[in-house]
Chains A and B, each alone.
Chain A
Amino acid sequence: AAGVIQSPRHLIKEKRETATLKCYPIPRHDTVYWYQQGPGQDPQFLISFYEKMQSDKGSIPDRFSAQQFSDYHSELNMSSLELGDSALYFCASSLGGRSFYEQYFGPGTRLTVT
């Protein structure tokens, strides 16, 4: 079965640079979530989109922005990168407009800021 695809899988950037992470949800899934996970930490919810509209906002810094496109894929844009942005970034997708569905996670993008 198709899973959530994230690209790139690994990304190395320098401080103050920008980065764009991409997420392709499972086909027919209309909701996308972005999470940031530091080493040994729980996933921190950043932002989510339902039917191309922002649905929930978490601890996403103002330097970050995201959107969901007409084909339901999503991009997380990160600017003025800081060392502390180094983490695993997960995208998850789910189906439907109800809150009891489970989220399916992608493999993550490991961002290293040097």
Chain B
Amino acid sequence: AQSVAQPEDQVNVAEGNPLTVKCTYSVSGNPYLFWYVQYPNRGLQFLLKYITGDNLVKGSYGFEAEFNKSQTSFHLKKPSALVSDSALYFCAVRDLNAGNNRKLIWGLGTSLAVNP
């Protein structure tokens, strides 16, 4: 069964430090992987995606994610965290081999708190 796991409910980092938000996935075929961010009382915003090609994907607001096929992971990273990065982060996957299935499988979200 397809699934996405975000093992950490909350991540706390100090401003200026690097941050990592973890995501692992399980799909039967090749994955399309996405990261979204949700600020309080706002809709989700697309950050970045991995489809194919370079395993390191760069996205919005200085975020990047590394696709690791052997570890079935797609961790979100940023070299230097900002207080304004504090938000809820969701990882999502779609199974490439699912035909016309456009449904995303979502992780439960990780709350990122960046402390000044």
Contacts and interface: CB of A to CB of B under 8 A. Distances in A.
Secondary structure type dominating chain B contacts? loop
B83 interface: no
Interface in B57-116: 90, 94, 96, 98, 100-104, 106-109
A48 B90 contact: no
B34 interface: yes
B103 A48 contact: yes
A55 B98 CA distance: 12
Given A56-B102, A58-B103, A99 B32 contact: yes
A25 interface: no
A102 B34 contact: yes
Classify chain A's interface size.
20 to 34
B49 A56 contact: no
Contact of B90 (A43, A50, A58): A43
A102 B46 contact: yes
A42 B107 contact: yes
A99 B43 contact: no
Contacts of A31: 102
B51 interface: yes
Interface in A57-113: 58, 90, 92, 94, 97, 99-100, 102-108
Nearest to A96: B102
B100 A55 contact: yes
Interface string B34-45: 101000001111
Interface of B: 32, 34, 36, 42-46, 49, 51, 90, 94, 96, 98, 100-104, 106-109
Interface of A: 4, 31, 33, 41-43, 45, 48, 50, 55-56, 58, 90, 92, 94, 97, 99-100, 102-108
List the 10 closest pairs (A to B, CB-CB), nearest first. A105-B43, A56-B103, A105-B44, A102-B46, A42-B106, A100-B51, A100-B32, A42-B108, A107-B43, A42-B109
24 contacts: A33-B102, A41-B108, A42-B90, A42-B106, A42-B107, A42-B109, A45-B103, A48-B103, A50-B100, A55-B102, A56-B102, A56-B103, A90-B43, A97-B100, A99-B94, A99-B96, A99-B100, A99-B101, A99-B102, A100-B49, A100-B96, A103-B104, A108-B42, A108-B43
